[in-house]
Structure 1
């Protein structure tokens, strides 16, 4: 981080350093042109417009040039000897942009002229244009000294600025971010511990907002994980209790079946109710145990004919031999579906069993369960319909929610929840159609590929 800061500050120094050196060269030459203007005025003021040679030598030495040329109505040359006709190169300060200044400074430092150079000064109001011819060596020597001084100063400034920027970045950004990272790492080790939740520093910038958001997230996550752990422990205990109760109730049901053969009138009256009650208790335990599993297994999908599976649902409905419920299957023999047969059968069995129990509780004139299937494009629709008493409004609100969708005494509401989960695992959708009296569930699944 420190080296990157130094590099960025150094780049900024370079962007300032190069134009500064170029500007120094222009100012150095401009000072010589200004001195040349003064020398020309002094010569013009001399009696007879002539000056002794030693006086001209002192003027030219002060200017730092070998010749001063004044271009007016008459061209005037101030020099000890005739100026050369050719020079190494010409520097025109009148049209010297910043790109030309930088190029000229580079040339002076690294490609010095082999002979004298001519410098053309900027025009001044009331004065004739002035040019000077001089040796570039003094200019180059002055620029080298200036570059070394500027380089030293720049290095000191860059080091100080880089250090200050580094310290500021460390305190304002790097250190708070490291604290955030270390807190996240520590919290991940034990996300249920509230003492590992970050305490916001109270900053009013983006880092402070991140700390507040992280604290809220960690607190919510810790509470959620603790609640889930408690529910998991409770679920494990309930599963164990249900397992033992199912075994006990199964034994009690067997004993109750034996009571049906007793001829005592009281026993004959009580035994069927006892057997039915035990049956409901056993189904309650089985549904709770089925829902209490962590996850359903991954579906083993394949393409199979749907009609035989629908025909099997009557035998899987749990209806007794004296049950008046009638089953009707409407399905073309060539309709195929791509799903897990065992999971789809379980989902349909839950729907059918609910319908049978509802119609047995409130029997109609002709209890009927209809399973109808049809194909549209690449989807197969299965309708499970019964003409029972229908669903009350409170059951529709939490229809597929566990322990909330049941409407009969002793029900758990797990059948529809399990059915919805199984259908979703197989890439399908289950919904309740809006009907006036009957109950109709609609299942949509991927169809099998046509051969």
Structure 2
């Protein structure tokens, strides 16, 4: 029980209540001692009144008066005269004198604690003011045994009362904490365990119900986290299913494309000028498709193969991309512009770069065709001592805000209905495999621009491979 929240709260409550009672007890015992001594002074003053009228009282009467007052002698000062009113034998020398005429609270507390812990019987002198102005001073001597006994009895009563208050208070707080705090926390933990059993089930997501502000905030934060996790798990399942489907499709598509390769070999022997001009591009496209299918079947996972670096003219790859896209454009008023330097040589994997540029141009073309308005797509390039840069710019409608926020997230970064957003993810992975980067440079009503950065340093490529 001590390890539970309610058990520890119960223990701490008892400790704190007892501590509060100690803080109350110390001044209380000091006040009790002061009242006890003042009562002895008052009794002594009453007992001494008999001597003021008749100095000749018997010894037996005097002893009885002193015994009833609980003192050994009484000294009164009246009219500047100090007079021993009552007296009997003192069993031991006076140990200490206490003046009750306006002492400070700290003095009273210190004297009370000293008397409370000292069990040795003593004889003490008490000085105070007579009541009702019956003189200027009164002194009495008395033993401390009865005083300490009374203080101990008072302290035990305080202790019993403190224990009772502690137990009752702790019990009430225990019930209150159990009902108002522990139970909501247990419900919170139960909801977490319930979700843990089936995180893919959206019905298991916690529903905030706590009335405590802090716990309510924790439930809302957990609900958001669980919703995001469930969403990611569903995406993971979709990607796994998609991967399996792609592998199956790639297997059959590779066989179909292999047959198509055999037909293109015959087409290349045609003497028709148009066929002779288009045949090499057709062969290249089919070869790329076959290689892609084989790579998908060979790896069977999300990671792309490491790039095979060779030096080649960028214009050749860009030209193939534009030629392929022009066939898809047809009669639509879309201008594809190749603005890459004719003699610019870069070092990269030509097939992977073709896929990246092709994905970006294809996305731009699909977005523009969906608007039905004429536009332009331009591919331009530049180089610095450290890197090559390629920009794919268009004058289309721009990316929606949601697509920009989730640009490189599967099934979320798609800019058109029915898209998956996988093209950008694949392109980013391919470029990073080169040690470079792919980013959205600008997007708005005036168009969109993607930036490809390829490093010239082999060190960057080695770091990307690791």
Q: CA 1:385 to 1:108, structure 2 compared with 1: closer, same or farther past 3 Å?
A: closer
Contact 1:183/1:198 (<8 A) preserved: yes
Deviation of residue 31 (structure 1)?
1.6
Q: Secondary structure at the match of 1:204?
A: coil
Change (3 A) 1:123 1:254: farther
Q: Which residue of 2 aligns with 1:213?
A: 220
Please say if 1:144 is aligned against 2:152: yes
**How far apart, CA to CA, are the structure 2 residues paired with 1:422 and 1:50?**
124
**2:192 aligned to 154, 160, 184, which one?**
184
Residues 61 and 357 (structure 1), Cα distance of their counterparts in 2 relative to 1, 3 Å cut: closer
Structure 2 gaps, min length 5: 1-6, 324-337, 364-377, 461-466
Aligned to 2:242: 235
Q: Give secondary structure in 2 for the equivalent of 1:394.
A: coil
Give the C-alpha shift of residue 224 in structure 1: 1.7
Residue in structure 2 matched with residue 15 of structure 1 by the alignment: 23
Q: CA deviation at 1:139?
A: 0.7
- Which runs of no fewer than 5 residues in structure 1 stay unpaired? 301-307, 332-340, 359-366, 376-380
In 2, the alpha carbon distance for the partners of 1:211 and 1:356 equals 46
Whole-Å Cα distance in 2 between the matches of residues 61 and 299 of structure 1?
110
Deviations along 1:207-232, whole A, 9 cap, x unmatched?
Answer: 66257526743762475256425523
- Measure the CA separation in 2 of the matches of 1:50 and 1:345: 135
Query: Which residue in 2 is equivalent to 1:394?
Result: 397
Change (3 A) 1:54 1:105: same
Q: Which residue of 2 aligns with 1:34?
A: 42
**Measured at CA, do residues 146 and 288 of structure 1 come closer, stay the same or move farther in structure 2, by a change above 3 Å?**
farther
CA contact 1:355–1:369 (8 Å) conserved in 2: no
- In the TM superposition, what is the alpha-carbon distance from 1:169 to its structure 2 partner? 2.0
The CA deviation string for residues 3-54 of structure 1, in whole angstroms up to 9 with x for no partner, is 444333333333333333333222211221222333345544x25x665444
Matched, 1:116 2:119: no
Find 1:443's aligned residue among 453, 457, 462.
Answer: 453
Kindly indicate whether the alpha-carbon contact (under 8 Å) linking 1:68 and 1:132 is maintained by their aligned counterparts in 2: yes
Q: SS in structure 2 opposite 1:11?
A: helix
Alignment pair present for 1:165 and 2:176: no
Worse-superposed segment, 141-150 or 128-137: 141-150
With over 3 angstroms needed to count, the CA separation of the structure-2 counterparts of 1:230 and 1:405, relative to structure 1, is: closer
Q: How many angstroms apart in 2 are the aligned matches of 1:396 and 1:286? A: 30
**Shift of the alpha carbon at 1:134?**
0.5
The structure 1 residue matched to 2:73, chosen from 67, 87, 94, is 67
Q: Is 1:432 the equivalent of 2:441?
A: yes
Distance in 2, matches of 1:84 and 1:57, equals: 14
Task: Indicate conservation of the 8 Å contact 1:33/1:130, yes or no.
Answer: yes
Could you tell me whether the CA contact under 8 Å between 1:311 and 1:329 is conserved in 2? no
Q: Which residue of 2 aligns with 1:317?
A: 317
The answer (yes or no) to whether the contact 2:268–2:276 under 8 Å persists in 1 is: no
Q: For 1:74 and 1:159, how far apart are their aligned partners in 2?
A: 57
What whole-Å deviation, never above 9, does each CA across 1:301-355 have from its counterpart, x for those lacking one? Answer: xxxxxxx9684464983756x9997544489xxxxxxxxx98x988755555568
Structure 2 counterpart of 1:334:
none
- TM-score normalised by length of structure 1: 0.68
Distance 1:173 1:356 in 2: 59
Count of matched residue pairs: 410
- CA gap of 1:13–1:348, structure 2 versus 1, over 3 A, is farther
Structure 1 residue 277, shift from structure 2 partner: 11
Change over 3 Å in CA distance of 1:14–1:310 after alignment to 2:
farther
- Partners of 2:254 and 2:290 within 8 A in 1: no
Aligned 8 A contact 2:74 2:140 in 1: yes
Alpha-carbon contact 1:428-1:443 (below 8 Å) kept: yes
Give 1:378's aligned residue. Answer: none
Mapping 1:23-422, distance limit 5 Å: 23-41=31-49, 43-44=51-52, 46-47=53-54, 51-72=57-78, 73-81=80-88, 87-112=94-119, 115-121=122-128, 126-127=133-134, 128-194=136-202, 196-198=204-206, 202-206=209-213, 209-210=216-217, 213=220, 216-217=223-224, 220-221=227-228, 224-225=231-232, 227-228=234-235, 231-261=238-268, 263=270, 268=275, 272=279, 275=282, 279=286, 282=289, 296=303, 311-312=311-312, 314=314, 317=317, 327-329=342-344, 350=355, 370-374=381-385, 382-385=388-391, 390-394=393-397, 401=408, 416-421=424-429
CA RMSD, Structure 1 to Structure 2 (Å): 5.3
Following the alignment from structure 1 to structure 2, what is the Cα–Cα distance between the partners of residues 405 and 415? Answer: 9
Q: In the aligned structure 2, how far is the partner of 1:330 from the partner of 1:277? A: 20
- Tell me: CA distance 1:315–1:170, structure 2 relative to 1, closer, same or farther (3 Å): same
Taking a change above 3 Å as real, the CA distance of residues 162 and 369 of structure 1, as seen in their structure-2 partners, is closer
8 A Cα contact 2:396 2:448, kept in partner: no
Local SS of the residue matching 1:156: helix
8 Å CA contact 2:92, 2:123 repeated in 1: no
